Structure 1
Amino acid sequence: MRIPVALALLGALFGSSAYAQTTTTGSPASPDAKTSQQSGGQESVTRPNTDKVSPDGGAAGALKNVKLEKGANSFTEGEVRSRLDKAGFKDVKDLKKDEEGIWRGTAMRDGKSVAVGLDFKGNVAAQ
């Protein structure tokens, strides 16, 4: 009978320690510093470049300079096709995910067949 009581007391003692922790927030230390909400926070660092790609082909040169990063890619084939279409690539063929987690295939852009890729962050590249 004493063991269950002792276990209950230990559970109450250690289980309640999380309630004593608090987080304080305040204004940034520097007067001209921006909060994460004002600067866009982490999202502004990891956003895919497809948001800046114009469908009219204006960013074709920029797409050739994109370095695709290997990593666990959770995009479905349909999502990849949609992002490639948004970036101005049409008639996507032979789309497969390689051993580095990068979706690769071929597509048409400006009347030419080009190799395309999409990494786990959603970055699109013409190769």
Structure 2
Amino acid sequence: MRIWAGGAVAVASLWLAVSSGLAQQNPAMENPSVVQPKSMAPTTAPLSVGANSFSEGQARDLLVSRGFSDVSQLMNDSQGIWRGTAKNGTQRVRVSVDFKGNVSAQPE
């Protein structure tokens, strides 16, 4: 059996071209909301406005993974930001999650 080395390179190049083309056509393949921020600490910086790609359950799970507990029902506002309340230690805070996965917490 003979294997043409150039054929393997051609197949790999074709796969790369097709997969990168699919990623450009389907923004969900490069969804920024699933990228973890470098800092796991909540931010008080302004949140990004945009169509939210998280479900309420996913936003809640993100808050819990960041150390919040007793998360209230979250409401998705007109700016696409999930908002609610939670406990940060013993303190009750207002929490927000934007479409990029940025978490904001402010004292109630």
Q: Tell me by how many angstroms 1:99 deviates.
A: 0.4
Query: What corresponds to 2:56 in structure 1?
Result: 77
Query: Which structure has the greater CA radius of gyration?
Result: 1
- Cα distance per residue 1:43-76 (max 9 Å; x no partner): 89x9443x531xxxxx3xxx24332111000200
Size of the aligned set, in residue pairs, is 76
Asked if residue 99 in structure 1 is aligned to residue 78 in structure 2, the reply is: yes
Q: 1:107 to 1:73 in 2, by over 3 A?
A: same
For the 8 Å contact 1:89–1:108, the answer to whether it is kept is yes
SS of residue in 2 equivalent to 1:120: coil
For structure 2, the 5+ residue unaligned runs are 1-29
Percent of pairs identical after alignment?
A: 45
SS of residue in 2 equivalent to 1:92: coil
- Cα distance per residue 1:4-23 (max 9 Å; x no partner): xxxxxxxxxxxxxxxxxxxx
TM alignment of 1:1-127, pairs within 5 A:
47-49=35-37, 52-53=39-40, 59=41, 63-127=42-106
How big is the alpha-carbon RMSD for the aligned residues of Structure 1 and Structure 2? Answer: 2.3
For structure 1, the 5+ residue unaligned runs are 1-41, 54-58
1:126 partner amino acid: A
For the 8 Å contact 1:66–1:124, the answer to whether it is kept is no
Q: 1:96 to 1:73 in 2, by over 3 A?
A: same
SS of residue in 2 equivalent to 1:115: strand
* TM-score computed with the length of structure 1 as normaliser: 0.53
- Cα distance per residue 1:80-103 (max 9 Å; x no partner): 011000111101003100000000
